[in-house]
Amino acid sequence: MLRTRIIPALLLHEQSLVKTERFRRFRYIGDPANTVRIFNELEVDELAFLDITATRARRGPNFELLAEIASECFMPLSYGGGLCRLDDVKRVFDIGFEKVVINSYAYERPEFISEIARVYGTQAVVVSIDVKRNLLGRERVVSHGGRRVQAPNPESWAMEMERRGAGEILLTSVDREGTWQGFDLDLTKRVSANVDIPVIAQGGAGGVPDLVEAVREGGASSVAVGAMVVFQKKGFGVLVNFPEQSTLEQAFNLVRSRDEQI
């Protein structure tokens, strides 16, 4: 059985699913509920839904849409976007989601992470950290859809969020997101080495070898995938898909065998 979680991260824009590239332009993917039904048939282990407009629009989650998603989904779900009140977090869990993903509001009120963890447990809290390089190549932590620069570096912020009660870190390279160029292994490795909680690598997955590299070279515990599971291939049309379980098991088991021999 594959121990590494491969998590489709699906982006909500209003009532639809979209896919962005480097957090900018986006393409329409389809209806969220229909997409969930396809992933049910593909026997995906877990799904993450991230609303990319809620924070910028200063609104809370679309609970009606989330309820529709949860009613169709057979696997564990996580949700992020516009969460800044415990009452809203409770509604998300009551609908049927197992985890919440917090990004921008954690910088405004870091204690919000502790409040959620205290009530629902650390396993229910995922903190999302987005990292982007500026024109000089300097690495910056960003929030609000990549539009606002934050002071901490990725490692220190991940450590702080772990201390506050985060159970997982969703680490995204903005520069790689939607590009099919592979993960930022250096970034993933540095953050993974500084925390004891699982790190989910995101941004750049283009195929199974990239997933293996994120775990073996980057030290990630899991990987989040976007473009490679909603498009046929780079530059082609929409096709919701997922690697065969046997393909994933073979790739990851081969890596484990090599590591054991070293």
**3-class DSSP assignment, residue 117:** helix
CA atoms of 248 and 190, how far apart (whole Å): 25
Identify whether 130 is a catalytic site residue: yes
Neighbours of 259 (CB within 10 A): 9
Query: 45, 51, 88, 130: which is the annotated catalytic residue?
Result: 130
Please enumerate, as own/partner, the contacts of 156-160 that have beta carbons within 8 Å and a separation of 24 or more.
Answer: 157/129, 158/127, 158/129, 158/191, 158/194, 158/195, 158/199, 159/194, 159/195, 160/110
Report how far residue 30's alpha carbon sits from residue 219's, in angstroms, rounded to the nearest whole number.
33
Side chain identity at 115, as an amino acid letter?
E
d(CA 96, CA 78) in angstroms, rounded, equals 9
Closest residue by Cα to residue 80 from 43, 42, 112: 112
Catalytic site positions: 130
